Amino acid sequence: MSARIVLALGLLLSGCLTPRPPADPRYFSPAAAPVARDAAPRSGPGPELRLRRVFAADYLRDRMVWRRGVEVGFHDLLRWTEPPANYVQARLEQELFVQRGLRRVTRPGAPSLTVELLAFDEVLEPAREALVTLAVLLTDASQVSFLERTISVRHPIAGERAEDVALALGEALAEAIRELGGEVEAALAERQPGH
């Protein structure tokens, strides 16, 4: 073999064996919460509510999650711009204190709402859909529960792209927050004097 052929093969092989740089992660956030423009303003101050910090299941951090039956996994390069619990917190504050007109208080004697995000997942089977699950606990000044429930919402994922997953999770989250807001408002109204 001539020296030129050996040199050409060496250059060709070295180019093929050179590792490629790793792919960069991609970041997403769920769709922004829609603001209802037709909601009538409250005639008086709404019930008081102390909203605790939302916390999430340990596996719900910055990586996007997929679920197949009882198996849970993570997408290697797909990330949330914030932990999903932050999205829940922001939407809860918007729903309860802006849309529904509840009064935010921090005093210990006020009714207290604790929310845990249990699922913020892309479900792969049997149907591809977004799953959001919230555990809700509303307690009075004596720490006695007067609303305790789990809200679970599934929303179909329209396409195959990661953006489609983020949008579907945003829709499922918005629906879960609306449902949660209605139940909290009703539970607080029942406890108002004269009701």
44-69 residue pLDDT tens: 578 999 999 999 999 999 999 999 99
35 burial level (CB within 10 Å; 0-12, 13-18, 19+): exposed
Percent of the chain with pLDDT over 70: 84
Residue among 160, 158, 157, 91 nearest 121 (CA): 157
- Output phi, psi for 80, to 5 deg: -90, 150
Where exactly are the structural domains of the chain? Answer: 3-190
* Both tokens assigned to 66: 């997929």
Q: What is the pLDDT of residue 45?
A: 76
Least confident of 11-25, 101-115, 124-138, 174-188: 11-25
Tokens 């509510």 belong to residue? 49
User: For the chain, where are the alpha helices, taking DSSP H only?
Assistant: 3-17, 84-93, 162-190
**Whole-Å CA distances, 192 to 48, 65, 102, 178, 189:** 10, 41, 12, 21, 5
Model confidence pLDDT, tens digit, residues 105-145: 999 889 999 999 999 999 999 999 999 999 999 999 888 99
**Whole-Å CA distances, 72 to 75, 90, 132, 148:** 10, 26, 14, 26
- Averaged pLDDT score across all residues of the chain: 88
Q: Per-residue pLDDT averaged across 95-104, rounded?
A: 95
Q: What is the pLDDT of residue 192?
A: 76
Of the two residues 12 and 90, the one the predictor is more confident about is 90
Confidence tier at 100 by pLDDT (50, 70, 90): very high
Q: What is the pLDDT of residue 37?
A: 46
Residue among 188, 93, 83 nearest 146 (CA): 188
Q: Per-residue pLDDT averaged across 27-39, rounded?
A: 67
Q: Per-residue pLDDT averaged across 69-93, rounded?
A: 96
Tokens 């209802």 belong to residue? 36
Q: pTM here?
A: 0.83
pLDDT value at 41 more than 50:
no
157 burial level (CB within 10 Å; 0-12, 13-18, 19+): buried
What is the number of other CB atoms lying within 10 angstroms of the CB of residue 5? 9
Cis peptide before 45 (omega within 30 of 0): no
In the CATH hierarchy, which fold is given to the domain comprising 3-190? Rossmann fold (3.40.50)
pLDDT value at 20 more than 80:
no
Q: What is the pLDDT of residue 4?
A: 73
pLDDT value at 162 more than 90:
yes
Return the SS3 of 14. Answer: helix
Return the SS3 of 174. Answer: helix
Return the SS3 of 116. Answer: strand
* Both tokens assigned to 137: 């606990």
Q: What is the pLDDT of residue 70?
A: 93
